Amino acid sequence: MAKSRFEYVRNYELPDPLMPGTFIVVRIDGRGFHKFSDTHLFEKPNDKRALDLMDQAARTVLDEYKDVIMAFGESDEYSFLLKKNTKLYNRRRSKISSSIVSLFTSAYVFHWLTYFPDNPLRYPPSFDSRVVVYPGEKEIRDYFAWRQADTHINNLYNTAFWALVKDGQSTTEANKTLQGTDSKDKNELLFSKYGINYNNLPEQYRKGSICVRRPATLVDDRQPQQQIEESITAGVSNVSIDDPAVGSVEDDSVSQTRINGVIRKEKKIKKAKPYEGIDGEIVVLHEDIIRDGFWKERPWFLQ
């Protein structure tokens, strides 16, 4: 098409490639979510509906971007890890960062009513995002350990804080009560005064949410039905399978979708490289990612 004499302004768009051979993390954060959670009457210290909605938005990102190999979320933030040698958008910083935060936001608003059916959205929420690049396996593990440690620290504090507030303290008083306390003090307070055993609280609150693809080969050599039953009865103690959004997205019930999914994909899976897990279904876990176990089960993440 014809070029205008104004085209030169394109030269001001400078390149912003990220270093090759490094791990890209995109972290999104809610903007003004203190007010947003008040306006929408989120339960304190944790609103399971809100956390599940965050998880659903993260799943949407993993579903769209095959190079996002895992995500970790807590509260109003989520971190996405891209595979080391991703060529997504030629590793352009802005493109990667903006596309992910936009899709996450879009999915959050799109799925709102599924998670808050009686609580319509009052105004459009938003998130910011940043890209952080890490050179190696150690730094990536420490990054996610940092976020999960943060989840624990914040949740323990918030659990104690809201227990005090619900017990009649003002927020100022509750903050003051907790000032200078360590983890043991807070656990003790919760247990002795409110009968709360912190370690029995839901793992989703204490450990955050991890979005990953189930390795495709796990479903390969067993009967689909057997696998589903196992998932439901045993292995899924900390997998969110009671996900109200799945129906609306895939027009089908969870287990049927999964059976069909397995059947539909079976041939394709056999050709896929077994360790990549790209075709596997996306699951949300709530488990420890600070220790080695999680990473040893997924050696391809950090290769």
**Residues interacting with its own copies, by CB under 8 A?**
1-2, 4, 6-15, 17, 19-22, 28, 31, 60, 93-95, 97-99, 101-111, 121, 123-136, 139, 142-143, 145-146, 149-150, 153-154, 157, 182-183
As measured in angstroms, the least distance from the Cβ of 147 to its own copies is 8
Q: Is 73 annotated as a binding residue?
A: no
| Separation between Cα atoms, residue 12 and residue 254, nearest integer Å | 49
**Residue with Cβ nearer its own copies (181 or 238):** 181
As measured in angstroms, the least distance from the Cβ of 79 to its own copies is 11
As measured in angstroms, the least distance from the Cβ of 257 to its own copies is 16
13: which DSSP letter? Answer: -
Q: Is 111 annotated as a binding residue?
A: no
**Residue with Cβ nearer its own copies (62 or 269):** 62
Q: Is 127 annotated as a binding residue?
A: no
**Residue with Cβ nearer its own copies (106 or 171):** 106
As measured in angstroms, the least distance from the Cβ of 111 to its own copies is 8
| Separation between Cα atoms, residue 83 and residue 213, nearest integer Å | 13
Q: Decide if 45 contacts 178 (C-beta within 8 A).
A: no
**Residue with Cβ nearer its own copies (82 or 107):** 107
Q: Is 33 annotated as a binding residue?
A: yes
As measured in angstroms, the least distance from the Cβ of 103 to its own copies is 4
**Residue with Cβ nearer its own copies (140 or 284):** 140
Segments of the chain assigned E as strands: 23-31, 68-74, 77-82, 126-134, 209-213, 282-285
Q: Decide if 260 contacts 194 (C-beta within 8 A).
A: no
Q: Is 30 annotated as a binding residue?
A: yes
Q: Is 76 annotated as a binding residue?
A: yes
Q: Decide if 247 contacts 254 (C-beta within 8 A).
A: yes
Q: Is 152 annotated as a binding residue?
A: no
Record the tokens describing residue 268, joined without a space: 């394709």
Q: Is 34 annotated as a binding residue?
A: yes
**Residue with Cβ nearer its own copies (48 or 93):** 93
How is the beta sheet containing 126-134 ordered, strand by strand?
126-134, 23-31, 77-82, 68-74, 209-213, 282-285
Provide the H-helix boundaries in 133-202: 137-166, 171-178, 183-194
As measured in angstroms, the least distance from the Cβ of 185 to its own copies is 12
CA angle at 72 for the pair 91 and 297, rounded to the nearest 5°: 90
CA 109 from chain centre, in angstroms, equals 16
Dihedral (Cα; 166, 167, 173, 178), 10-degree rounding: -90
Neighbours of 192 (CB within 10 A): 9
**Residue with Cβ nearer its own copies (136 or 274):** 136
As measured in angstroms, the least distance from the Cβ of 9 to its own copies is 5
* Residues annotated within a binding site for GTP: 29-34, 75-76
Which residues does the annotation place in the binding site for Mg(2+)? Answer: 29-30, 76
Extract the annotated binding site. 29-34, 75-76
